[in-house]
A and B are shown apart, each in its own frame.
Chain A
């Protein structure tokens, strides 16, 4: 199985900050990479897929990049509603998720 290593596990930031979360796959996943946002008690929301394509209705302050085994999620200017937990997921073969990054208000 492909392992996904996500970092950092937690992050403190302020409204307006730019933040980056990284995800590394144990093998090349050919950009089959999605990012989800999860607010406590809610279902995950699809933010990006194919490493860099925005999901429906997702604000443009969210962006993704990467290739091969290394991928990043960037939030250009944090808004209050962005404080949540973020997961990367590969869907290259049998899907797998990273361990999550909890984004907290500083």
Chain B
């Protein structure tokens, strides 16, 4: 059974650095055919993809947020981390982690799809 669980602070002050942990089970972070993404959702708003990480430690980040984000992992503990610097009240959101797996694009190779999601953690930024 695949599960993901987000943990970390629920209240942050402006300018602080957020660090969240995603603990996974039911799959291995060493599996070359799997990875983990981070996505956020401000209250009442749409989902926003933040970035992902793969077994070989390759990472991709949102174009608009890449200067503030760092994703890393501890394979031995089955954990993936998201760090976001300089938090602001507009960053108040539920943060989700999700497993990603390859999906064929037909004759054009494959790309990565979020299939299993964690329940999310609401992080509020306020002074």
Contacts and interface: CB of A to CB of B under 8 A. Distances in A.
Interface of B is mostly: strand
B117 A44 contact: yes
Contact of B106 (A31, A45, A95, A99): A31
Given A43-B117, A44-B96, 6 more contacts: A31-B105, A46-B113, A46-B115, A50-B104, A91-B111, A94-B63
Interface of A is mostly: loop
Interface in A20-43: 30-32, 34, 36, 42-43
A97 B49 contact: yes
Interface residues of A, number: 26
Contacts of A46: 113-115
B46 A100 contact: yes
28 contacts: A1-B63, A1-B64, A30-B105, A30-B108, A31-B106, A32-B103, A34-B114, A43-B118, A43-B120, A44-B47, A44-B96, A44-B117, A45-B117, A46-B115, A49-B103, A55-B115, A89-B114, A91-B114, A92-B111, A94-B60, A94-B62, A95-B112, A95-B114, A97-B46, A97-B47, A98-B46, A99-B46, A100-B46
